[in-house]
Structure 1
Amino acid sequence: MAGKKILLIIGGGIAAFKSLDLIRRLREGGHSVTPVLTKAATEFVTPLSVSALAGEKVYQDLFDLNDEAEMGHIELSRAADLVVVAPATADLMGKMAAGLANDLASTLLMATDKRVLIAPSMNVRMWEHAATQRNLATLLEDGILTCGPNEGDMACGEFGFGRMAEPMEIVAAIEAAVNDGPLKGRHVLVTSGPTHEPIDPVRYIANRSSGAQGAAIAQALLGLGAKVTFVTGPADVAAPMGVDLIEVQTAAQMQAAVKAALPADAAVFAAAVADWRMANTVDEKIKKDGNGLPVLEFAENPDILASVCAEKQKPKLVVGFAAETQDVIENATAKRKRKGCDWIVANDVSPSTGIMGGSENDVTLISKDGAEDWPRMGKDQVAQRLAEKIAEALG
């Protein structure tokens, strides 16, 4: 992706020191950064350090005679490809939501015709305050993009949500926002990983899935410019940065998360969802008591793929996965028809293949037009090829 022009507004909070690393990371990625400091931000970082890292002049004053002789705040707000506010303090978020413009930062945010991404940062109680949540809801309705906040320890000694996202997380969100790939403006839902169905507090039923293929697909879709909602069970691999991450444990939780994420332009169901759960889950560990084996009653889990295909909000393209150990093509073809999805990605996961939990995959793409065999390749390559076909199908 070609380097983009980023207008970075640094708010006044302890997390402002992270903005220095953010500038460095953005420049490493080939992007240019024009920095704007609020008055409060100068209490935490100096204009000299910011300017040195950005290689650009730092803007601070709305009433600067030289800059405003040519309506500098208008030019600044229009010249960027994206406006980023990091850290976005409660005060800045409040100004944005209310439409206030009484300093350079807030005036730029009102005058821009570009997309705006904020990385909130504040005390956990401030983040949870009703006013902040109202402001956040307003900003989301206005189309403002967000990254974070994260949960963790704070400088004030408290713990909770309010920590600014890490610089590389913000970089990933920025690059997703400015990516002009073929899926720009498209929303794709991806499920990944196994589900864990509890038997008792220490035991569960699960499938042998690392989540590597689902994560690779989400990453490839991001690379083509898609907005990705990533619903994952307890996987072995980390979720890609830049996705809207929803972590679940059970099939029922995954179904609820998927339904809440609709509508979407496309959906890829790569998760290895357990077919059954316990009908008689207990709250205490089942003990061996010498009276014989415990009776475990099974119940069928919801069919997430079939339910989405039956939805009024069914995505234009629905892709399922079929992990089979015998009669792969026949079983996967029947599954596509039974579920009502557009494509099925079929793979042989017999122990001898090394596919389950491995770094490669050997798949066949099945559609109404028949079966398309792909050569065995790395899971990243499978993901890229699938993402490109999705982009082509969505036009």
Structure 2
Amino acid sequence: MKFRTYITAVLFSIALFTQALGQVTESPRVEERSVQDVSIKKVELTDQYTIIYLQYIDRQREAPGLPFPGMKSQGASIWLDPETRLYKPGEINTKFKLIKAENIPTKSDRMPVKGGQVVDFVAYFERLTPGIEVFDFYEGRATNPGERTWNFYGVHIKNPKNRISEKPAKLPEKPKPVTPEKAEPLEKPREPELIENPEELDEKRMLSEPSFGQLQGTVYDAVTNEPLTASIQYVENGDSLTIYSSSGSFRVGVDLSKTYSFQVAAKGYFGESLELNPKDSSGHQLFNKNIYLRPIQVGASMAMGNIYFETGKYGLLPESFPELQRLLNLMKDNPGLGIRIEGHTDNVGDFDKNLELSKQRAEAVKGYLVSKGVKPERIEARGYGSTRPIAKDQSEAERSRNRRVEVVITQE
């Protein structure tokens, strides 16, 4: 009996000791990351911190902007943004601050690194609420041209909801005998604090950060509804940023005071544009948007919703250039592709003039592509005037839908 009691005590002590050290997840599974240079090697949870061990490898890659094509970067400088946060996926207000970092600067200084150099560093965050076993590591948005942020989405760790209390409850001291007239009520021993409702703690962590929001979603095949490997490109503070997603899922931090235009692309599919104006979001910080891309095949068509002309004319307006660039990229990425550009108008005005105007607008789009190097024999231009409406043409909103440019695949 004594031996069994001894074994039980030893096992209990080991459990407490292990818990005091915290949960450790080696090489956690990460669903997506924004760059390949940085990886998470380990996540350790202690009573006070969420400790993330990271490794940066300066890969000698082709560097845009260097004077000769194919030149490799000879190094860079790195730092960790002090505003880096951990988030519970889908809950923008459940966030955990960066406390400190080791072996990497977190202020205005930069750490220079040479091509091929490996840097191991550690980031300490507020303790994740027990029960959160998937989190996002979000460094933020690049503020200067050439900067790249380190973002990890869907980091899976061990962090069970019901944790053993690190400190066993202290037993109350045995009260000393006292006479009845001097007796005082004994204070009830305090129970150890166990986190039974993580949501209550999440509420305490909710911080007001009105300038920050997040766009998230998944890119799908519009025919099969299967997720696609895709890229999401956008411009922020003059810097062109691209997120690559092998699973189709994406998360992008946005400034709620700015307007964004996202270009979504996948090999073998028509691209799509997504406009986001957070300031019209009525205070929401989290935006959910799934994208459905159609496969490129003969006969498939794509409406070019953001090509604009002057009223009654065929001159392209500057607002059209992002959409035209998307079409140009499609032609360059698929050198065997042949297309037909179709111009359409509403039914207001003279029928013959509308027919001619629609042909001129289709020719204007073709002319843009040819001026950028696309062979003219790959492009056919036609005008249909008001003969193929997609709405009834009875209201301004309906007539606006009918004034459009479409692209039809004629050859793969």
Q: Which has the higher strand share?
A: 2
TM-score by length of 2: 0.26
Considering only CA atoms, is the larger Rg found in Structure 1 or Structure 2? Answer: 2
Q: Which has the higher helix share?
A: 1
